[in-house]
Chains A and B, each alone.
Chain A
């Protein structure tokens, strides 16, 4: 019976009312007459035609009319006449209410039968509404197992005769929970239906067409606005986190490319929308598309070939299709929604992995004790030399050196060191207090949808204001989405829309963490008297430099960090427009033509002003000062330094498409599309730099470009020069695609479906070789709804579908070109220019090809209380753009370049489950989970790291066959030596403290991309309260410790020196005396001056397995509690519904180590949100 009720799919044409005209004109009934000639037409389509011609709504039960055909000639009949004629001789009755006609099944025979048993009937009536108070039109009310049933009319009212002894009636409506309602002896029964989030969504949107989910064969994951209610509407990626099996960190089903675009393709309201921008030097960067996130109606993730292949050369990474809200439930009505959220993140600096003042002072003392230069006769002059050159400007070492140089007494030194060592994390504490703030994010959204029957208009406005932790960093933006649909005639409609975004990003350029000198935890930002601390130039610059600055009267280089905060701020202003128009022509009931055009234009103005008072400007001006006759000449005039970038992105998209949809003989359904598409994207950027810029006059000082570009040795001894591109540079990138595509699906009896798609893409991005240029992407798929088989006899299974697909998706590298590109320089030996090939011509350049095989099972069991999907996929990438060793005989033996020859596999499976655990009047508990497993393997590349350090530092440039693309390699740790040095195994398995240089000594450590990830969510509703909890996790991957317990070294004019400033807190557990090697794996503190090869030992330690962290994590990513204000209260405030919500984001993360938690962003990530959501 439950199954039968599921099949009672009412044709809810009302929800589509904006698509068909209703012509309400002051009580005038439409006089549309009906003319049609029917021969063996199915009754459903006959009624549809009547509905279309008349503009009336005809309501009927699909299952009831199924199997009835109509032969009739009707001309100039009224609707009633037409319907009467269609129904004549069939067991149906009809009733008219307003311009609705309800058709009911008479089931005469059955009725006769039951009447003999139950001869008394009584009438009940009432109104059915949804949670928002909207009346539901066409909701079904019936007595299960009996012929008694009806549907609600335009006012949501129903009247029904039920047997005298009947106690329950069943109420059902698409998208709502089917409920049994106690009738008792009441005659008037009103009922509020609740939305059903667990039913399988009935349609999937691919961007090119909207398909019935049951008839699709591809792998889709769909998320609706309701699913996202519990989340903060922040970014698309945060919305998808934990909702889609196989989605992790912006990628769908793992990494499928080496050098091309890695991100999925985003499609908004049918058009691909790419947010590709240029970096400062012309490189292309992919961003998330601009959209009002609150305005999202649904997100469909297309994962396999059958789903995504229609996107051709850009389908391989998966496609994320977003539709925005644009529907109201009712004609002649205006819906207004408003929401606001306020998110607060308390700032706290994580210091757990950094050495505190005590450890730093201990290390500084150890540095002195290990430094042999500080013993013996030359100690004083050595110490004075270090002081003069400010090689170690830190307060601790300065006090030590002052003692050794004889400038202060031992007790002074000890007193200083003791006081320094007691200061804990002073600098970071002060930083939190004076230089940082608690980020606060505000967001407001207003949505209005108005429907006048012939015309639907909607607007959505979002304003966001983010204040970031840096006091002068923040951004705000205003997004405006407009959409309009007009139905001109029965067969012609026009959709138009525009999205506009105005944004401003402010970025503080000065980083207190690297203020221009190396900071130690005992340093100050604020003096004891409360004034801002100044690092005087003579405390970090050599005496020689300071003397030169004084002698030539150069600008002083004192640094006052807290005064610098707003002196080097970057402001980026953006204006983005995306406008589209789509003309739909219904040629016949089964053939539609549409032509659509989208224009996108984005402009970004990036302005950075390094104020003349900033240390950045003073430093630059001084370094570009040269001596002329004993006085300073400033090659860069003193004043504000102004950097400006202007960038424009323009995209055109034109598409024409024919849609075919027809059912033959009731059981053969064919859906097909055929179309062409042209897409053209152009990005251009100009960058310029001006000196001595006057922000009021908008004027700048002149510079001698020739001497700046050729360079000179300045007064301070540095060789200073600018590249010509530092002054001015222009960049341009054009991508063009021309495509022809089509797909078709055939369904037999709603049980068996086969689908196929084909697409040809051509582009300026790849070469002319016919082998690739005319190669189509394709897919084939098959689906079988097992649960619809007659023989299928498992009443607890409501739905069971098996689907298989195979096909190809492509991917492109947007900055590749098939052309020969050369670089030219002057030949000083013989004169003239010499040129060399910087990228070889490659007529075989092509899109990357990823073949995806997918098997999936969709199911719903136990009265739809548990539903889910299981998927297995095998993605085989070939022709991937990979680094390859040049062929020596072709003249490229020493070169590597990218060519379409890489091969990579991604295999995995995904599970998503949703279950309704408890459902009663007051309680509703549901849970859902996703899980994705992905195994990546490089199966072919023709490249091998020429030397060991390239394999270590650029692992992804030299992938290794048989391992993951993101695999990292390192040395096998062999513990500490008896004198505390790090040791590893070399290629022969021998223990060494020297860095093995043989590639064979590098061992596989793991991959940096999770092998599995998933989520677990629960939703608990009690009366008006909803509690949502979402856990996410990922694992099977590793990362390198970025904060190894080993001091780094750098080169100074006095040779190698030790960087104590960046010391790790783990050094507290370092080897200190013989025998410690039994207890610790942290090497002794190795200083540059201690006689060891410090940088080699650092590499031995850093690249060893000892520094590999397990990156598994589990995090509580979201808790939300919302309270729905009771409908009765809302009504009084003329609202449909209202909700107050509180969220806590990322409160907890569990990892194997604190360092892993730090590197995964687990500290300082908790957001607290409060939100108000109103619908009028």
Chain B
């Protein structure tokens, strides 16, 4: 009798335990909160400009003196001043607690890309082709962020040492506490090329929106990467592929005509709407600078303005001399959300020109360069350029690239490439407080220290500074 009871009870208890281990019961998802499930839910992350499409190159623009540093910022941010004035007495590692945006925004973008890459394949309400396309967009965007990081915080690619030199942390998971490794330069470049190669088959020529990088952007990115690796054959091949998808250029002469009254006015108070915005004809994709909201194009110190060729209408359209208090500089007079760091046709033209020049096809190289110059040099002052040597060709091409891709990672990455190559190097030099200060091609300053916030709060991995100070 009693035994029957006990066995009955035990059966009931066991049944209850079985029932309660049912995971579905506990996987009740909260309501009233949006838990991404469909592909559209994940795809929407790629339209989030603040988190995914910001790339800040503030310190490289200061180091190159592309961007004017105001006196007040110079006194408030010792690290900015050190970069701007090539001051080796300042420990940039110590002071790097106020300029984290480059690192933080890039890894934010990477995190969102990781999130999409991890989840889009299992998202609902979409066909495989659509899922593959969304994953491919995320891979291209992730590559763009890694390229910025690898060329900002670590040594540039040199085939001899790339496998031994540490680059930046490689993180591929969006999980809280995801582990990562600070990989070598070779590993990060292999990773980027692999991602782009995997992505390309699933991409349309141009993406769903300008925030979605299509094949054009992917080819353009490959051209940029191979150029950085000094692989001119591949760089040329991909630049051509990119230009086959889009080869339009902004005609700055046309822009000048349309905005003449603003550009020619005495004061710099008025601005014209930038042609480098979301509708920019030369964009493969769009990527902001440090801010995702509209503003004037950055200001430029006077000595840097001299590096534009005479009659550069692009310069005239964008900057005007301005004095406020004791400070005089070229102030930006175009405004809007500017595609500082997206992939653009003009870069591909100039990559192509350099590859041709390096292959000693000087005429072809100059033809490509002049195609660009026709759009950027005032019609009345335009003359075709000719080069008699590779060195001269590169000189011309580099000037155009530094100017047209100003405030992107490109001029800085190029400078480091030339420095590493050691042939077409350039010593930066300027007057500062009555003294001549210089930045040599071999200076440690060409690599920026990781921000202290990232080192101190490293998460599930560790980070070693690639530069001593």
A contacts, CB < 8 Å to B: 282, 585, 587-588, 591, 593, 595, 656, 658, 676, 678, 730-734, 736, 738, 740, 762-764, 817, 819-824, 827, 829-837, 840-844, 885, 887-894, 899, 942
7 closest A-B pairs by beta carbon, nearest first, are A891-B111, A887-B459, A893-B104, A835-B44, A834-B47, A830-B209, A888-B454
B289 at the interface (CB under 8 A from A): no
- Contact status B2-A588, CB under 8 Å: yes
Task: Show 15 residue pairs from A and B whose CB-CB distance is below 8 angstroms, ordered by the A residue.
Answer: A585-B9, A593-B5, A676-B20, A732-B30, A822-B41, A827-B48, A830-B209, A843-B176, A888-B457, A889-B461, A891-B104, A891-B112, A891-B174, A892-B108, A893-B457
Establish whether residues A887 and B458, one from each chain, have CB atoms under 8 Å apart when the complex forms. Answer: yes
The answer to whether A833 and B44 have CB atoms under 8 Å apart is yes
| Contact status B32-A731, CB under 8 Å | yes
Bound Cα distance A730, B169 (Å): 43
Q: How far is the CB of B24 from chain A (nearest CB, A)?
A: 10
B-side contacts of A731, CB under 8 Å: 32
A892 touches B111 (CB 8 A): yes
Stretch from B11-19, B78-86, B318-326 contacting the other chain: B11-19
Report B131-179 residues with CB < 8 Å from chain A CB.
169, 171, 174-178
Q: Is B384 on the interface with A (CB-CB < 8 A)?
A: no
Is A738 a contact of B171 with CB atoms below 8 Å? no
Q: Tell whether A831 pairs with B44 under 8 Å between CB atoms, given A587-B2, A890-B171.
A: no
From B107, B180, B278, residue with most partner A Cβ within 10 Å: B107
B30→A830 contact, CB < 8 A: no
Q: How far is the CB of B462 from chain A (nearest CB, A)?
A: 10
A656 touches B12 (CB 8 A): yes
Tell me, in angstroms, the Cα distance from A840 to B178 when the chains sit together.
12
Given A834-B49, A889-B171, A890-B111, CB of A822 within 8 Å of CB of B104: no
Q: With A678-B20, A891-B174 as given contacts, are A820 and B35 in contact (CB-CB < 8 Å)?
A: yes
Contact between A732 and B31, CB atoms less than 8 A apart: yes
Which A residues are CB-close (under 8 A) to B27?
764
Contacts of A820 in B (CB 8 A): 35-36, 115
Measured CA separation A839–B70 after assembly (Å): 38
Query: Bound complex: CA of A658 vs CA of B115, how far in Å?
Result: 47
- B30 contacts A819, CB within 8 Å? yes
Q: Mark B289-312, 1 if CB is under 8 A from A, else 0.
A: 000000000000000000000000
Check A841 against B110 for contact (C-beta < 8 Å).
Answer: no
Residue in A closest to B100 when the chains form the complex, CB atoms: A893
Contact A888 B20 (CB under 8 A): no
Q: Which of chain B's residues have a CB closer than 8 A to the CB of A841?
A: 174-176
B148 to chain A, nearest CB (A): 14
The reply to whether A734 and B9 form a contact with Cβ atoms under 8 Å apart is no
Distance from B67 Cβ to chain A, minimum over Cβ atoms (Å): 22
Given A587-B2, A587-B9, A829-B278: A888 and B453 interface contact (C-beta under 8 Å): yes
B-side interface size class: 35 or more
Instruction: Give the contacting residue for B49; candidates A829, A840, A844, A889; CB below 8 A.
Output: A829
Chain B's nearest CB lies how many Å from the CB of A276? 15
Whether B50 is near chain A, meaning CB under 8 Å from some CB there, is yes
Q: Are B48 and A889 in contact (CB under 8 A)?
A: no
What CA separation (Å) do A36 and B154 show in the bound complex?
A: 89
Q: Is the CB of B457 within 8 A of A942?
A: yes
Determine whether B345 belongs to the interface, using a CB cutoff of 8 Å to chain A.
no
Interface string of B38-76 (1 = CB under 8 A from A): 001110110111110000000000000000000000000
Give B262 Cβ to nearest chain A Cβ, in Å. Answer: 23
B211 at the interface (CB under 8 A from A): yes
CB of A889 within 8 A of CB of B463, answer yes
- Contact call B459/A822, Cβ cutoff below 8 A: no
Q: When chains A and B are docked, how far (Å) is the Cα of A820 from the Cα of B17? A: 29
Closest approach, in angstroms, between the C-beta of B401 and any C-beta of chain A?
Answer: 27
Residue of B nearest to A739 (CB): B20
Which residues of the partner chain A approach B30 to less than 8 Å between Cβ atoms? 732-734, 817, 819, 821
Give Cα A375 to B453, complex, Å: 54
Contact A836 B51 (CB under 8 A): yes
Is the CB–CB distance between A891 and B107 below 8 Å? yes
Given the complex, which residues of A lie within 8 Å of B112, measured CB to CB? 837, 891
What residues of chain B lie closer than 8 Å to A836, measured between beta carbons?
45, 48, 50-51
Neighbouring B residues of A827 by C-beta, 8 Å: 47-49, 211
State the Cβ distance, B340 to closest chain A Cβ, in Å: 15
Q: Which residue of B lies closest to A675 (CB)?
A: B13
Known contacts being A656-B12, A834-B47, A835-B45, is A823 close to B34, with CB within 8 Å? yes
Contacts of B211 in A (CB 8 A): 827, 830
Question: Which residues of chain A are within 8 angstroms of B51 by Cβ–Cβ distance?
Answer: 836-837, 891
Pick from B9, B36, B41: contact of A658, CB under 8 Å: B9
Contact B459 A890 (CB under 8 A): yes
A830–B44 contact, CB under 8 A? no
- B176:A899 contact, CB within 8 angstroms: yes
Q: Which of B6, B25, B453, B457 has the most CB of A within 10 A?
A: B457
Give chain A residues whose Cβ lies under 8 Å from the Cβ of B12: 595, 656
A942 to B174, CA, bound (A): 20
Report A-chain residues with C-beta under 8 Å of the C-beta of B190: none
Contact B104 A593 (CB under 8 A): no
Residue contact B26 to A676, C-beta cutoff 8 Å:
no
Is there contact, CB below 8 Å, between A830 and B210?
Answer: yes
Q: Name the B residues within 8 Å of A587 (CB-CB).
A: 2, 5-6, 9
CB distance from B402 to the nearest CB of A (A): 28
Chain B residue at smallest Cβ distance from A845: B176
A890 touches B34 (CB 8 A): no
Contact at A894–B176, with CB atoms within 8 Å? no
Of A658, A889, A892, which one neighbours B169 at CB under 8 angstroms? A889
Residues of B close to A833: CB separation below 8 A? 40, 44, 47
Q: Which residues of A contact B49 (CB under 8 A)?
A: 827, 829, 834
Residues of A close to B454: CB separation below 8 A = 888-889, 893
Q: Which of B33, B180, B278 has the most CB of A within 10 A?
A: B33
| B108, closest chain A residue (CB) | A891
How far, in Å, is A1150 (CB) from chain B's closest CB?
48
A282 B25 Cβ-Cβ under 8 A:
no
B237 CB to nearest chain A CB (Å):
30
Q: Are A832 and B176 in contact (CB under 8 A)?
A: no
Docked CA distance A841–B5 (Å): 46
List the B residue with the shortest CB-CB distance to A738.
B20
Name 14 extra pairs, CB < 8 A, besides A593-B5, A888-B457: A585-B9, A587-B6, A658-B13, A736-B26, A736-B28, A819-B35, A820-B35, A829-B278, A832-B209, A833-B47, A888-B104, A890-B177, A890-B459, A894-B108
In the complex, what distance in Å separates the CA atom of A836 from the CA atom of B176?
A: 16
A823 to B50, CA, bound (A): 14
